[in-house]
Amino acid sequence: MSRPVIGVTCYVEPAKFTVWDMPTALLPYMYVDHIARAGGQPVILPPAGEPAALVERLDALIIAGGGDIDPARYGSAPAPQTGYVRKFRDEAEFGLMNAALAAGLPFLGICRGLQVLNVTLGGTLIQHLPDAVGHTAHSPAPGTFGRLPVRLSPALAKIYDDEDLTPAHYHHQAIDRLADGLEVTARSDDGTIEAVEVTGAPFALAVQWHPEADEDGPLFHAMVAAARRFAAAR
């Protein structure tokens, strides 16, 4: 059986590689590796042109981690700690998200991807989580993942084969008002929403942590399996 096509969004940031130093469309290779090892064919989707038009050619979509969403999209002014806002990426990914939801495309949101899903459906965000929870364990230091336990819903626990998980975290924002049509499927001990799914969708879920940072990839395997089912039903 051919590999299902998994589109995954990416950053556009300054980067150094070999002899070059220039703006680059880039994605941590951990995403690519997990998709390929799960049996999918990764295709990177830069925030340029009309990526939403590609949804009909994909079997699943991942919206990857990244900088903060422009708070104007959920009716707020930016907090002092809000940063790395890339409005061109917002425009591309919100278009992709709307198109994927309309098509019933299997979807996995990771970190920023969870926030894009929530805001697309009318929710809001906490712009700086330490101000709300009183600690920095969700993002302990620049470029350093934190390990924070989360409790999974029965549905998400089936994917991980466990109700308790201590995944890699790197986020200073999180869901504030949960959008209509979303169900919470994981929380950390401080009450932060750590995972959601779209009610009634065959496979449309998002996690606030970074599953690509771990060796095992049950979420990627579940997504690729959903992509195969979606492709077969076309």
Please name the amino acid found at residue 107: F
The DSSP code for 141 is: B
Alpha-carbon torsion angle 34, 42, 196, 140, nearest 10: 50
Catalytic residue among 111, 169, 172, 194: 111
Asked about 183 being catalytic, the answer comes back as: no
Asked about 210 being catalytic, the answer comes back as: yes
How far is it, in rounded angstroms, from Cα 3 to Cα 38? 10
Which residue intervals of 68-145 are DSSP H helices?
A: 87-103, 112-120, 129-133
Asked about 169 being catalytic, the answer comes back as: no
Catalytic residue among 93, 194, 197, 212: 212
The DSSP code for 144 is: B
Catalytic residue among 34, 169, 172, 210: 210
CA distances from residue 82 to 68, 86, 195 in whole angstroms, order as listed: 6, 11, 21
How far is it, in rounded angstroms, from Cα 193 to Cα 158? 19
Q: Are 26 and 13 in contact (CB under 8 A)?
A: yes
Cβ neighbours of residue 72 closer than 8 Å, sequence gap 6 or more: none
- Catalytic center residues: 111, 210, 212
